[in-house]
């Protein structure tokens, strides 16, 4: 998947992958996230970091969740 081109499909894909990797129980917080409502480059950055990590500590999960909250416009 080419994440360089912003699209709603890419946003949905990354959020699904992030949710799975962070084992987020309440994934519904991302339901209304649209391409227009977020900073796309920041989402790609977060996705890339999370995707590359083999394991994620509880503290890192919390930090990523906090960072995700900040990328909404």
Q: How confident is the model at residue 12 (pLDDT cuts 50, 70, 90)?
A: very high
- The model's pTM is 0.88
- Residue pLDDT, tens place only, 31-72: 888 899 999 999 999 999 999 999 999 999 989 988 998 998
Which DSSP state fits 53?
-
- What is the DSSP track for 27-38? GGGGTT--GGGB
Q: How confident is the model at residue 11 (pLDDT cuts 50, 70, 90)?
A: very high
- Residue pLDDT, tens place only, 48-58: 999 999 999 99
């Amino acid at each position: 998947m080419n994440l360089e081109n912003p699209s709603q499909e890419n946003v949905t894909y990354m959020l699904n992958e992030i949710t799975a990797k962070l084992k987020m129980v309440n994934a519904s917080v991302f339901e209304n996230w649209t391409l227009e409502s977020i900073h796309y480059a920041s989402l790609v950055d977060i996705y890339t970091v999370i995707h590359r990590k083999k394991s994620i500590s509880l503290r890192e999960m919390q930090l990523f969740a906090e960072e995700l909250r900040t990328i909404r416009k």
